Amino acid sequence: MASKGKPAAAPKSTADPIVEQLQRQLKQEGFYAGEIDGRMGDSTKAAVEARDAKKEQERKDQADAETRELRKKELEQSGKKTDADAAEAARRTKAR
């Protein structure tokens, strides 16, 4: 407690250099617009969650694309038509 007439000492900084680095990275990636203060506050946590969600969606999209490509190759090797091939053949038949 401060004595009369003397201001209380400023609290020691709770800035964490690792959190500062994380905030800089999040800011560079466009997920964080806050101040680089080294504190794991709500906006930093939200930015981490947003980045993680985006990366997870990108992984799912990549896996879906790979699955579609594998399925297409399997169908081609078996001689069966893909859904896209069947739809194109139906459009050609209607156009005649």
pTM to 2 decimal places: 0.61
Per the CB < 8 A criterion, the answer to whether 47 and 26 are in contact is: yes
Output the pLDDT for position 27: 97
CA–CA distances in Å: residue 77 to residues 49, 66, 68, 90: 42, 17, 14, 21
The closest of 25, 55, 56, 20 to 41, measured between CA atoms, is 20
pLDDT digits (tens, 9 = 90+) for 52-63: 999 999 999 998
